[in-house]
Amino acid sequence: MKSIITILVFALAAMAGVFNFTWEPLDVEFSTLEIQAKGAVVKTIEAEEGIFPEGAEVIESYYVVPEGCISCQICVGQCPVDAITMDDNDLAVIDPEICINCGICASGCPTSTIELLDADDCALYGIDAEGNSVLLQEELEED
Ligand code: SF4
Ligand code: SF4
């Protein structure tokens, strides 16, 4: 039985896609860019030699909408691949590099605050010197 579950799990992982977002060249002072969805950071982009790339790949993964998380940690115990941890604010965070998109956590979350990433929810932000998020582009183009 376990081997069947393992096969299914890896089949789901193989189905996981990516979004290839692009944007116009940025002339900004920020040290970091973030792609966020509903308040969750789904991609962090550092400048290389002071220049930001004009696009980024984002894994189509489940993620936690921070506003709805009540820190119950049910999802942490349910995830079959240990992709979920609690952050410094005691909110659940999913590592998209580990998540295999099985959806178990989304089904078990008592506040339904775990969602599959949708390109329409993604926006580009810059992080200012005080650590605040500044909206740079609300709608991102896909390659
Ligand atoms: S199950 Fe939902 S509410 Fe509980 S820690 Fe996970 S994301 Fe937060
Ligand atoms: S969908 Fe949720 S339970 Fe499944 S692997 Fe991803 S984080 Fe873990």
Ordered by start, the domain boundaries in the chain are 2-137
At residue 10, does pLDDT exceed 80?
Answer: no
At residue 1, does pLDDT exceed 70?
Answer: no
pTM of the model: 0.87
Stronger pLDDT, 78 or 26, i.e. the higher one: 78
- Report which bound ligand comes closest to the CA of 78: 2
Instruction: Count the Cβ atoms, other than its own, within 10 Å of residue 43.
Output: 19
Instruction: Count the Cβ atoms, other than its own, within 10 Å of residue 49.
Output: 4
pLDDT at 143: 87
Among protein residues, the one with the nearest Cα to ligand 2's atom 3 is 79
Residues sharing a CB contact under 8 Å with residue 73, sequence separation 6 or more, in sequence order: 86, 92
The residue behind tokens 């998380």 is 69
Among protein residues, the one with the nearest Cα to ligand 1's atom 1 is 109
The tens digit of pLDDT for each residue in 52-90 reads 999 999 999 999 999 999 999 999 999 999 999 999 999
> Tell me: domain 2-137, CATH 3.30.450.40, correct?
no
Q: Is the dihedral of CA 126, 132, 137, 141 positive or negative?
A: positive
Distance 113 CA to ligand 1 centre (A): 7
